[in-house]
Structure 1
Amino acid sequence: MITHLPRIARRTLFRAAVLLVMGACAPALSAKSMELRYGHMNSPNSVAGMQAQMFADKVAKYTNGEVTIKVYPSSQLGKMQEMAEATSTGVIAISHNTAGGTGSLYEPFGAFDTPYLYRDVDHLMKVTASDSPLMQEMNEGLIDAAGVRVLYTYYFGTRHLTTNKAVRTPADLSGQKIRALPFPIYMTGVEALGAVPVPVDWSEVPTALATGQVSGQENPVNVVLSNKLYESQSHLMLTGHIMNAQVIVMNQGVWKKLTDAQRQAFEKAALEVRAEATDMVQQQEAEELAKLKELKMTVIGPDEGLELDAFKAAANKLVNERFAGKYGQIYTQIGEIK
C-alpha cells in the first residue's frame, strides 16, 4: 500500500534540479512571515488555475499577510508526477492533482477516480469532504505514506472524450490511441471506452495530438475550452466516464510549521474555495458546452446516438476485474454515503 518510500532516491536529481532553477524552491520560512510555492499543471484562466490564485489570495487575507503563496501554473515547476513528488519531499509546499494522480503517492486515492462511480456531483462532494470519515481515513494514510495532507477538494468536472471522428460505441474506438493520464485508473477508463490508452503528461498533450502520437484525449469541458483543444479535435463525446474531484495537497512538514491561527486561516480559505470553485465549474459547464458548439465542435451525446450503457458496461467489467479486490471496501463505503 505504501508506494512512496521506494521512490525517494529517484527524486533526488529532480529535487536538486528544481532547487537550482528556482534558487531555492523549498518554502522560505521565518519567525514573522512565510512564503510558500503552489505549483500546478493547469492554465491560469482555467477554473483549476483561478481557484489556486483564489486560495492564495484568501490565505494572505486571513493570515494578515503572515503567509503568502506564490502560484506557478502551466507546469512551470515540473510535470504532474514531478510536482506531486516535489510536494511530498518538501521542494514545493502545495500542488494539486486528480485523485488518481494523488494515488501515485498513496495508492488507495486512485479509487476516487473510478469510472461511473458517483451518483451525482453532490455525492462526489460528500465523499471527498474533509469531514467525511472516508476522506479522513484516506488523508491519514496519505500523511503516513507520503508526508502530504489534503487541504481541500472541489468538483473539477466530468470527463468526456474528444477525437477527430464520431464515436458512439466502444467498438468505434477499436485500435485508436487515446491520451490517458499516466495512472492505472485512468488507463483503465480509456481502455473501457474501447481505445488503446497512451500515457501522456498534460504538458505534452498538444504535441502528442499535433504529431499523431494520440488521436484523442479525455477531459472536462472546461479544460477542452480553456486549452483550445477544439483547434485540434473536431468531436466531443459526452461519455461522462469519470466524475473528478481535484485534490489540493500540502507538505505535512510545512503544515506543522504553521501556527494554530494560521492553520485555521488555511482551513477557512479551503472551505470557501472548495465551494466557490465547485459552483464555478457547475455554473459554467452548460455555457462552455454551448461555446464549444459555437466553435464548430461536433458534440455527440445520447440524443445523437451515444450508447452510454455500452461504455458503462465495459467500464464496470474492467473495474471489477482489476480493482474490486484492491478497492472493494472503499467502493462499499462510497456507495453507503448518502
Structure 2
Amino acid sequence: MTYKSLTAASLVALIMGAGGAMADTWRYAFEEAMEEVQGKFAQKFKEEIEANSDHEVQLFPFGTLGESADIMEQAQSGILQFVDQSPGFTGALIPEAQVFFVPYLLPADQDELVEFFRSSKTIKELFPPLYADQGLELLTMFPEGEVMMTTTNEVTSPADLNEVKFRVMTNPLLVEGYKAFGATPTPLPWGEVYGALQTGIIQGQENPAFFIESTKMYEVTDYITRAGHNNFTTAVMANKEFFDGLPDEDKQLVQDAIAASFDYIVDYQDGLTETSLEKIKEAKPSITITNLTEEQRQPFRDTADDVEQQFLEIGGSQAQAILDQMKADLDAVSGGAADAEGEADADAEAKAEN
C-alpha cells in the first residue's frame, strides 16, 4: 500500500481553504478508508452534525493527510478539529492507553464488550484528563472487531511464532505482548505492511477481519488465526482548545452526534466479522482460517500476567489506577450480564409455573 504525504503547500491550502474563511467547517481525519469501520463512524457523525446544524464536516480518510502520527500532530495543533486513532498509536503519547493491549483482558462476548465501552468509568472518568494533558478531548472509544493474526506459516501455539517477524503498531506494550507470544515484533507504519509481507521482510500482522479483507492482507499471507486475544479499540478525539471554545449548544451537538454514531457502528458491526471471513475465503480458497480451541489458546493466555506487569512498569503514573478500574468495569459488565440472564431464566420459570 502507498499513501500521499501532506506537503507544506497542501497543508497551507488546507488551512486557507477550510479554515478561517469557513469558521464552521470542521475537519475530521481517521486511520481507515471511507468504507471501513472508522470511515462508517465518521460518515454517521458528519450526517448527524450537518442534519442538526449549519456546520459542515470534511472527512479525511487514511493517506490523505499522511500516516497516523501526522494526523495526531495536526489534531493537537488545531489544523484538525477531530481525529480517530487507535490507542495502538497513542500509546507512546498516553502510556496508560496501552492497557487495551493486555491480552485476554477485554471480553469475547459482544454484548459485554459493547456495554463496557458504553459504561466504563475508565473511559468516561479516568482517561479524559490524560488525553486533555495532550491537548485532546476524548469523545468516545469503541471496538472495531476481534483481532486476528495473518501469517505466512500456520500458528497453533506460541512455538509457531518463534523467529516470526510480526508487524505491530508503534506501541511499546504491543511489542512486549508479541515478544511474550514468542514472535519478533517489528513496528512498521501501516503504509509499509503489504509490501513488507510481499517481500518477506515480515511474516505476520494482526487486524480485525474486515480490515484484513478490505486491505487484501490475505493476498500476501496464507493463514488467519483466531486466538481470541483482543478486540481492536479506537478513540475519537477533538482538539481540546477547539472543543472548549464551542458554545454549549455545539458541545451538545457533538456529544449527541457521537452517541448516535456509537449506536450506529455497533449495529453496523453485527455479523461483519463472519461476512468478511467469507469474502476472504471466496477470494482466496486456499487460505486456512483457524479458530483455536480453548486448549490451544491457553499457552497464549498464560502470557497475560507477564504482559500486565509490563503495563504497570511502562504504562505511566496512572497505570495501576487504570488497570484496577478497568477490571472493576469489566467485572460489573460480566456480573450485569449474568444477572440479566438469571432474571430471564427466573421469568421463564415463573411463566412456566403459571
**TM more than 0.5:** yes
In structure 1, the residue matched to 2:121 is 132
1:108 maps onto 2:108 in alignment: no
Partner SS state of residue 265, structure 2: helix
| Equivalent position of 2:84 in the other structure | 96
Structure 1 residues 202-211 or 173-182, which shifts more? 202-211
% same residue: 25
- Give the SS at the match of 2:251: helix
- Which residue of structure 2 lines up, in the alignment, with residue 52 of structure 1? 42
2:280 aligns with: 292
Does 1:28 pair with 2:19? yes
CA contact (8 A) 2:91 2:172 kept: no
CA distance in 2, matches of 1:252, 1:156: 25
Q: Secondary structure at the match of 2:140?
A: strand
Q: 1:109-151: per-residue Cα shift (whole Å, max 9, x none)?
A: 22133221122344444444477355322112211x2110112
The Cα RMSD (Å) is: 2.2
**Counterpart contact for 1:127–1:135, Cα < 8 Å:** no
8 Å contact 2:223–2:289 — kept in the other structure? yes
Q: Distance in 2 between matches of 1:151 and 1:25?
A: 24
CA distance in 2, matches of 1:24, 1:259: 27
Residue 346 of structure 2 is matched in structure 1 by none
Per-residue deviation, 1:306? 7.5
Identify the residue that residue 199 of structure 1 maps to in structure 2: 187
TM-score (norm 2): 0.82
Count of equivalent residues: 316
How far apart are residue 25 of structure 1 and its match?
Answer: 3.8
For the 8 Å contact 1:161–1:236, the answer to whether it is kept is: yes
- 1:177 touches 1:197 (CA, 8 Å); kept in 2? yes
Structure 1 partner of 2:336: none
Deviation at 1:84, TM superposition (A): 1.4
Q: Helix, strand or coil for the counterpart of 1:69? A: strand
The residue that corresponds to 2:250 in the other structure is 262
Mapped contact 1:100–1:111 kept (Cα < 8 A): no
- Deviation per CA, 1:203-241, whole angstroms, max 9, x where unpaired? 221122122221110001011011111111111000122
Contact residue 178 and residue 214 of structure 1 kept, 8 A: yes
C-alpha contact (below 8 Å) 1:44/1:50 kept by paired residues: yes
Q: Does 1:335 align with 2:324?
A: no
Which has the greater radius of gyration? Answer: 2
Structure 2 CA distance, aligned partners of 1:308 and 1:270? 36
Q: Which runs of 5+ in 1 are unaligned?
A: 1-16
1:72 aligns with 2:63: no
Give TM-score scaled by structure 1 length.
Answer: 0.86
Contact 1:161 1:217 in 2 (8 A): yes
Q: In structure 2, how many angstroms separate the alpha carbons of the residues matched to 1:302 and 1:177?
A: 21
Q: Which residue of 2 aligns with 1:9?
A: none
How many angstroms does 1:83 deviate by?
Answer: 1.3
Where in structure 2 are the equivalents of 1:174-323 lying within 5 Å?
174-295=162-283, 296=285, 297-302=287-292, 307-320=296-309, 322-323=310-311
Q: Which runs of 5+ in 2 are unaligned?
A: 1-5, 333-354
1:165 pairs with 2:153: yes
> For residues 133 and 331 of structure 1, do their structure 2 counterparts lie closer, same or farther at Cα, with a shift above 3 Å needed?
closer
Distance 1:136 1:19, change over 3 A: farther
The offset of 1:104, in angstroms, is 3.0
Following superposition, the deviation at residue 107 of structure 1 comes to 1.9
SS in 2 for 1:237: strand
Paired residue type of 1:60? E
Q: Distance in 2 between matches of 1:147 and 1:324?
A: 24
Residues 126 and 322 of structure 2 are in contact (CA less than 8 Å); yes or no, is this contact kept in structure 1?
no
Residue deviations 1:58-110 (CA, integer Å, cap 9, x gap): 111121xx221111112211211221122112122211111232333322122
SS in 1 for 2:269: helix
Paired residue for 2:138, among 133, 150, 158?
150
Letter in 2 for 1:290: E
